[in-house]
Amino acid sequence: MKLKNYYRAIFLILIAFNISFVKAQTITTDVTSVKSCVGTVTIPITVSNIINISAISLTLNYDNSMLSWDSYQNEQDELSSGFLIVNSNGSQIIISWFSLSPVSFGDDTLVELKFTANAGVGDLIWDLSAPDNCQFTDASHNNVAAIYKNGFVTVEDCSDIYGSVYYDNISNTAMNSSTIILKNVFGDKVDSTTTDVNGDFVFPSLFGGKYTIDVTTTKAWGGVNSIDALGIMRHFVLLDTLQGIRLAAADVDVSGFINTLDALFVAQRFALFITSFPSGDWLFQADTVTLLSGIDTTTVIKAICYGDIDASYLPPFVMPSPKVIIKI
């Protein structure tokens, strides 16, 4: 019993004095791989497990045939306690920092390197040919174990997508203040913008590849009456033929077919027996753009209200939201 109490007392003493046993410190230094357009390229240098460090020496090899050194930015805040020097020498970037006050900031971006880049692919490799080239030192002047992860930079001539959205009526009414969403081949959002007073938009500085463009609007639905219901019925009995976006606009029940049920829905909505369609209110012509590197492209997107198969609607001009600028 006395022995058990003895060990218990030792345990409580360890807790009281906050003594802990930790694994040996190992720092990870990573030059982040980036993909960028021709022009300014920013390459982050990230580090992890920075605890009680008083000196940093790093040497990075880069391809100076495609990258031209500019400057650095966004250095980690705690580096301000010491002296930071970042310099280019031929095809190397040398980062030097030291301080009488050791820093501990854990995992963070150490600094961002800025280059002017030409098109191409270049390696970013830590120079470990000599022990002093890449090194972290603690407050006791001991070298700290470190892992160095290389990267690469991909730079290409980017392109712009210019586009416009208009209603498929006789006036080609511009769909201003509509939201344009650009997605990649995986369906992930790349960017978004809003059409101007002429219904135009632009997505600048894009990498080559396939993109899809989705459109939404807050404009009111309209332009539908019994004439549209009649037109849908005439299409069903083969007296008329709807085509393109107007054919798609007739499928208000989203069945994949045009028939009397669609005509009935349209008549009911005009007569206010119903207030919506299963399809929703607006249809925009789906668009896929294949963008080649360095070559701009232009696309036109048609819009129509579901049920408005004669495209008689004149969508209202929507005033853009005012921008509020607060001066301090």
Topology match between the domains 25-156 and 159-305: yes
In angstroms, rounded to a whole number, what is the distance separating the alpha carbons of residues 283 and 304? 5
- Is residue 136 within 8 Å of residue 272, measured between CB atoms? no
Question: How big is the chain, counted in residues?
Answer: 328
In angstroms, rounded to a whole number, what is the distance separating the alpha carbons of residues 215 and 198? 15
Q: Which pair of structure tokens corresponds to residue 91?
A: 């095809």
- Is residue 130 within 8 Å of residue 92, measured between CB atoms? no
Architecture of domain 159-305: Sandwich (2.60)
User: With the CA atoms of 164, 312, 262 and 286 taken in that order, what torsion angle do they form, in degrees rounded to the nearest 10?
Assistant: -10
Output the CA–CA distances (angstroms, integers) from residue 20 to 14, 49, 169, 245, in the order listed.
Answer: 8, 17, 75, 70
Strand (E) or helix (H) holding 230: helix 226-236
pLDDT score of 12: 45
Radius of gyration of the chain (CA): 32
Q: Which amino acid is at 229?
A: A
pLDDT score of 29: 97
Burial class (CB in 10 A: 0-12, 13-18, 19+), 24: exposed
Q: Which pair of structure tokens corresponds to residue 200?
A: 């135009």
- Is residue 255 within 8 Å of residue 261, measured between CB atoms? yes
Q: Where are the domains of the chain?
A: 25-156, 159-305
In angstroms, rounded to a whole number, what is the distance separating the alpha carbons of residues 181 and 189? 7
**What three-state secondary structure class fits 66?**
coil
- pLDDT < 50 stretches in the chain: 1-3, 6-7, 9-23, 324-325, 327-328
φ/ψ of residue 246, rounded to 5: -70, -35
Instruction: Spell out the CATH class of 25-156.
Output: mainly beta
- Is residue 80 within 8 Å of residue 114, measured between CB atoms? no
